[in-house]
Amino acid sequence: MSKRELKQYLKELTKEQLEEQILDLYGRFKEVKTFYDFAFNPREDKLLEEAKWQISKEYFPVNGRKPKTRRSVAQKHIRNFVRLGVDAPVIADLMLYNIEVAQTFCGERPVTQEAFYRAMLKSFEEALLFIEEHGLIAQLAPRINRIVDEAVEQRWMNRAAFEKTAALYTI
């Protein structure tokens, strides 16, 4: 169904039918419920804390299991924040937090998989691109520089790429 066909269909519905359909969607689909919950009560701080908790659990699980260190968990939360229309500074904070938690983990337990370092560099590049697009470079430069310094200090195999990427965006 095209957008045009959907508009035509919605025009044919009465207000009560439209309300009924929206309530049905709200009950059936978690994404719709999340959207409306956020639209009417945008508690970004609560969403941010929950996302940070989920990301940190990937590296520092509370139940003693082995850390999974999946980049996809953070990416899922970031995509969700973008889809909901969360403020850019909050999204940027989450993007940088993801890398900072990974670096904290690496500081305690060195990682040998090259894929981990590639994934973190990709996250860093995406974060800097997002931060630049939203004019937040000056505000977040100290955090960006700390991330680069930490990659160098921990002797990450792609630390030069971190430095080069940061140099493209920061002053």
27 and 71 inside one domain: no
Q: For the chain, how many structural domains are there in total?
A: 2
Task: Report d(CA 134, CA 87) in Å as an integer.
Answer: 10
| Dihedral (CA of 118, 112, 93, 153) sign | negative
pLDDT string in tens for the chain (171-residue length): 899 998 999 899 999 999 999 999 999 998 888 888 888 878 888 889 999 999 999 999 988 788 988 889 999 999 999 998 899 999 999 999 999 999 999 999 989 999 999 999 999 999 999 999 999 999 999 999 999 999 999 999 999 999 999 999 875
20 and 32 inside one domain: yes
CA 62 and chain centroid, separation: 21
Find the domain containing 32 and state its range.
Answer: 1-41
Contact (Cβ atoms closer than 8 angstroms) between residue 114 and residue 98: no
Task: Report d(CA 89, CA 44) in Å as an integer.
Answer: 11
CA 111 and chain centroid, separation: 22
20 and 70 inside one domain: no
Angle value at C-alpha 102, between 98 and 103, nearest 5 degrees:
115
Task: Return the pLDDT at 59.
Answer: 94
105 and 59 inside one domain: yes
**What pTM does this model have?**
0.83
